[in-house]
Each structure stands twice: as C-alpha cells, then as structure tokens.
Structure 1
Amino acid sequence: MKIAFYGSSLLSSYWNGAATYYRGMLGELAKLGWKVVFYEPDAFDRQKNRDIDPPDWAEVVVYDATPEACRKVMARAAEADVVVKASGVGVFDDELLGVFDLARPGALRIFWDVDAPATLAEMRLNPEMPLKKALPNLDFVFTYGGGPPVVAAYEAMGAPVCRPIYNALDPTTHHPVPAEPRFTADLALLANRLPDRESRIERFFLEPAAGLPDRRFLLGGSGWHDKHMAPNVTAIGHVGTRDHNAFNCSPLAVLNVARDSMAEIGFSPATRVFEAAGAGACLITDFWEGIEMFLEPDSEVLVARDGKDVAEHLAALTPERAATIGEAARLRILAGHTYERRALEVDALLRSEGAWRSERKSA
C-alpha cells in the first residue's frame, strides 16, 4: 500500500513546524507496511537547512518551486493507493489540490490540515476557495488539532469525515539527555516569530522577563533578531531538531505559547508540548481548552493565563518540583500519546475504508 504525501518538508524543520509531526506519523505508518513517498518543494531555504538526511522509511522527492516541476510530481499521484495533500506547503497550495483529480479510481483522497483554525478562517472569508470546493469529494480530512469545534466546522463545510490526529511523541527522537550550558536558563521558549503569535509571546514571555531582571530567559526560533528585548533575554535563532532535547532538558522550565487561533479554538497541543514532555522538561503553557486531555494541570504541566501567572510559576518553582512535574509529564505522554498510537489510528481508518471500497467494487 502506497501513500503519496504532498507537504511542506520532511527533511527540514526550518520555518516548518510540521516537520516533527510528519516524521513521527509517517515513520510509524511505514512500520505498519505503508510505502511512503513524500513530495516537498525546494522553497524558503529549507533544503539549505536540512536537519535530517532522507530516511530509509520514505522516498523523498524534492522538486523545484516551478509550475512545470509541480505538475510532474502531481502526476505521480496516480501511482498511490492513498493521496494526501497537506495544508501549508507554502507554494502551489491551490494547484496541488489537483492531485485529488489525478488519483486513480479507488484511491483514498485526504486533506491533512496542520493549521486547521487558519484554514477554516480563510474558507469562511473566501467561499470560492478551491479547498472548500474540493471537500465534498474527499474521503477524509485529518487535522493535527482542533477537537470538536474543528470537526463540526469541517463537516459543516462539506467534508464527509473529519478526524483530529493529534500531535504526539516519538520517544526515539525526543527523550531526556544531559543538560548543556549553552541552553541554561530559568525559562526557555522555542518559537518562530509569527504575526499571530508575537503579541502572546510578548505577554507570556518578554514581559515576565522584563519584570524578573535577575532571572535568565532563552528564546530560540527564527525571526527575532531585530525584536527589542530585556537584557536578560538571549535570542539564539533557529534551533534544529537535533538540539531540541538539550534545549528542553537544560533550563529550569520551558514555555509553550500557542498562536492566537490555536489558543482560541483549543484542543490544539503543539509539537513542542510533546517534545518537551518527552524530554522530561517542566512545561509551563498558556491556557487552552482541552489541555487536560493530554496533561494534568499542576501535576504534569503548569498552566498560565497571563504573564503574571508565568512569573509566579517561575518564582515558586524549585529544581526538585520541576523534575517531578517533568517526569510525570513524560510518563503520561509515553503511556497515551505516542506517534505509534496515532499511526495505528490512521492505519485502521485507511484500511477500513479501503476494505469497504474493495467489497463494494466486488459486489
């Protein structure tokens, strides 16, 4: 069984927050017998900033960001049993929806949304959006967050079936490691600078830092080089996935700040939540609906509703309590939220739908 997956990038996490999700999910599906072909454009300098080599569990096809190259890889959709177009490829997103028309008869057609709140908002503003027109002809919409609000919204717009396939942990790649001095801090945050998250990062990270001049704050991620910050904040730029474990294990605590749309709709834990928990880090997160589905507030995660809460959590946090919270989070995520579990869910959906189609065809 072959999956043709058209996404942003499997090889690079540079300006590509979905990389960990793709790797964890597709790597586990490959273990279940799926042959994965991942098509990614050479765009946004991602190929110059690869943080993994092409994996042995997937064929990765990198194509030029030109219309001709795009058409060539789209034609290969006809080779697959399952055709997936992900959101947020960044180039030719509307054109790539054409892979659903090029899929062979009987193939499953799936739109996999890695930013459902943003996609839904765009479709509400633009009723003529090509994706909205394509929804009724798909077999599934998968999302990596959103819960009941996203499911209801997608199905109201014509998707036959919408299923959240949440972010998770790959314990072989994200796990405890020794602390490294270069990542030492009282509170660390890993987040690219994005318009719909910047004000929340100011409130939950930069303002508490300014109010705690004796504490050290560390900011990883791209785009912050010209942002005014207090002297006790160190911005270190892009942090590749190979350094995420050390980044999470070295500070007293790490912070998660959701984007505006993710926080508003809830049920949308970022990959950073699972990476930090897998490393045994003490996580402080901004509040969003549904967090208890993944981690228990106060015992497995510290929840903040504003920057004042962040500062209070940090002031009360001892190394011993931080270690206790981090270990509890790690055990909770290992028990119920790994990519192995998520892949089994996807595999069951795909095989069930495929078997139903085979039975209907032979009847």
Structure 2
Amino acid sequence: MSGPDLVVLGLSLSSSWGNGHATTWRALLSAYAAAGHRVLFLERDRPWYAAHRDLADPDFCRLVLYDDLADLDRYRDAIASARAVMVGSYVPDGIAVGRMVQATARGVTAFYDIDTPVTIAALAAGTCDYLSPDLAAGYDLYLSFTGGPTLRRLERAFGARAARALFCAVDAEAYRPVGAAPRFDLGYLGTYAADRQPMLERLLIEPARLRPDLAFAVAGPQYPAGIEWPANVTRIDHVGPADHPAFYGACRYALNVTRADMVRAGHSPSVRLFEAAACGTPIVSDPWDGLDAILEPGREIVVASDTEAVLAALDGIPDHERAAIARRARARVLGAHTAVHRAAELSRLLEAAAAERVAPA
C-alpha cells in the first residue's frame, strides 16, 4: 500500500484535557477521512494527556504516540511518501519537527496554526518554540484559525507563501440539541487563560454576584485555587467532548469569551461558538472584529461587553426570541461551519498547493 494521503503532527488527538486542539483535529480529520482519505496522526506522548486520554483508538485515522524526536524518526518514510504533511501549532519541539518535515516530505507541507495571534506575537518577540520565521516561509501552505488582515501580515512579515484561513468547525453528528431543560442561566466551557479571565469576571462572575437568584456554571481545567467563585456558580473541572452537548443543553445561554490576542486580531471564531450553536443553545459573546461575518449580532448571537449587557440579555429577552436566536444560529452554522465544510476546504487548499508546486516558474 502506498503512503497515507495526509500525515498530521499535532499537539493532541488522544486527549481533550486542557487544550482546544483535540476537538478541532477530531472533527476535521473524521470528515476528511469520510471523504476517502487515509490519515496518520503522530502525537508526542505527554503524561498529562496520558492521564486524561479520551480517544485512544480513533476509527477515522491511525493514531501513533511517539516518545521524542529520535522516536519520531521511525515515521520518516510515511512523512516522505504522504501526499501532504501538516504540522500544528504548539507541537513539542515544533521547530525541529518542522525542519524534519520540510527536509523529508515530497508532498505538500502545511502548517496549521490553531493559535495564530499568539504565534505572531511570539514570533515578533523571538519566543515562539514551535515555529520560526524561516520555517513559516518554508511551508507550502500556512493555514490559520484567524482570517482577515492577519493573513496578509503572515505573508508580508514572515514570508508565508500562501496564508489561508481554515477556521475551526463542529462535528454536526456529535453536536446537536439534547432536549433537556436548562439548569443554568449562563454557562461557560473553556480552559483557564489569564488573559481571558478579566472578561470572564465581567461577563459571568460579576453577574453571578449581582444576581444570586440565577444559576451559572464554569467548566474547564486549570483555574487557580485563589479565584473566589460566588455560591451560585457551579464549577466543573472537565467536560469531555462526548458530554459537551449535555453541558450546552443544560444552559439557557452559553458564554463565549475570546483570548486577548484573538480579540486584537479579530476574525478568530472559537470552536465553542459553533458547538453551542449546533446544540441549539443561544450564545452571549464578547465583541470582536469579524464576529458579524460568522453570526449576526442581535439576530443569531447576543453581543455583550459588560455586566449590564449580560444581565439585560438574561432578564430582557423573552423565551420565544431566545429560541429564535438559537434556531437561526444553528441554521447558519450547519450551513457553513461543519467539519464536512472544513474538510472540503482543506482538500481544495491542499490541491491548490500541490498544483502550485508543479507549476512552471
């Protein structure tokens, strides 16, 4: 048998604990494989993911755990023979991994940046440990979670040959309404991030302090022990992907909070937007440039920048309008932002890059 159609070296496929990469890879690659492609995923074995492994044997690709760079060398032939090889952001020893891929692969090479604004800031500061400017310029294709003006910046400032947006997406088969009665008025699902915490304070914790008659939930790991949670905020340390629909279904509204670098860059939709919408839960989100290209404020999503706006939504939007917002958002996401859509985009982008490689100079 010939080599795989696609080899992916990503942060994690096997564990969704403490990272947003796993659900992205799972949705994208399962849809890509369903279109007839053979995929090999190479993941650096890490103890914190091993302790929280929730997909040890995927049915849509071959998953291999490797110990270190020397162990990765065992898969050099697969990397060389693949039609395309994709390296993700935050891969351990990503610079060394990228150099090996670019020196070895005979097919298309791509970098998939699931953290683009963070990457750009680290590249500018010289502190990025998974990508360097020369590596960014060496990939045939730079795929980015962030669209808009950032794509041109990647090409101008860092020499990326072809920077293209490939947003996150949702597995529409796994994420759907569960029909449960909400237990929480507002719920947030996400790993702790220091730059995101002030907005979480403003849009959930402070509303909870002001309204002890309402119920709130924050689900996700790594929150510091010193945070003073109001009594009406339920803390859940981790919700696995299989339980995401039930969590969203338990919320009258789902909160989306964006990391500071993503807000500054704009055009960086979170996977939580698509997941909550697909589950039929209306969303309250902080504002950022480009949000209106994903969901229409006031019609498909509620935008709030402060505590007062959150409470106005919780108190002032009647149930029938809340349900209508959720229906419209679900229809919008299912029409443009599923894993099937994104896998088709990936195929087109890889084919275009392959054609560019063989085109005469």
Fold conserved (TM > 0.5)? Answer: yes
Is 2:96 the partner of 1:95? yes
CA contact (8 A) 1:178 1:249 kept: yes
In the alignment, the residues of structure 2 paired with residue 276 and residue 239 of structure 1 have an alpha-carbon distance, to the nearest angstrom, of 14
2:206 paired residue number: 207
Is 2:93 the partner of 1:63? no
Identity of aligned residues (%): 32
Q: Any idea what the Cα deviations from partners look like across 1:298-324, whole Å, max 9, x if unmatched? A: 111100112221122112133333222
In the alignment, the residues of structure 2 paired with residue 230 and residue 5 of structure 1 have an alpha-carbon distance, to the nearest angstrom, of 42
Displacement after TM superposition at 1:48 (Å): 2.4
Q: TM-score, normalised by structure 2?
A: 0.92
Q: TM-score, normalised by structure 1?
A: 0.92
Counterpart amino acid of 2:48?
D
Is 2:179 the partner of 1:178? yes
Q: Counterparts of 1:216-255 in structure 2 under 5 Å? A: 216-224=215-223, 226=225, 227-255=227-255
CA contact (8 A) 1:74 1:102 kept: no
1:167 paired residue number: 168
In the alignment, the residues of structure 2 paired with residue 318 and residue 231 of structure 1 have an alpha-carbon distance, to the nearest angstrom, of 26
SS in structure 2 opposite 1:34?
coil
Change in CA separation of 1:174 and 1:127 when aligned onto 2, cut-off 3 Å: closer
Displacement after TM superposition at 1:193 (Å): 0.8
Task: Provide the aligned length of Structure 1 versus Structure 2.
Answer: 355
RMSD: 2.1
SS in structure 2 opposite 1:328?
helix
SS in structure 1 opposite 2:194?
coil
Displacement after TM superposition at 1:247 (Å): 0.6
Counterpart amino acid of 2:18?
W
Counterpart amino acid of 2:253?
A
2:86 paired residue number: 84
Counterpart amino acid of 1:36?
V
SS in structure 2 opposite 1:192?
coil
CA contact (8 A) 2:19 2:191 kept: no
CA contact (8 A) 1:3 1:84 kept: yes
1:39 paired residue number: 42
Q: Any idea what the Cα deviations from partners look like across 1:135-182, whole Å, max 9, x if unmatched? A: 2222110012x22221011101100110011112221111111327xx
Counterpart amino acid of 1:14?
W
Displacement after TM superposition at 1:352 (Å): 3.0
Displacement after TM superposition at 1:31 (Å): 2.2
Q: Any idea what the Cα deviations from partners look like across 1:102-149, whole Å, max 9, x if unmatched? A: 3233x11111100000000011111997521112222110012x2222
2:352 paired residue number: 352
In the alignment, the residues of structure 1 paired with residue 41 and residue 127 of structure 2 have an alpha-carbon distance, to the nearest angstrom, of 30
1:8 paired residue number: 11
Counterpart amino acid of 1:203?
R
Displacement after TM superposition at 1:349 (Å): 1.9
Is 2:288 the partner of 1:288? yes
Moved more, 3-12 or 309-318: 309-318
Q: Any idea what the Cα deviations from partners look like across 1:261-281, whole Å, max 9, x if unmatched? A: 111111111110000000000
CA contact (8 A) 2:85 2:105 kept: no
CA contact (8 A) 1:200 1:260 kept: no
Change in CA separation of 1:123 and 1:282 when aligned onto 2, cut-off 3 Å: same
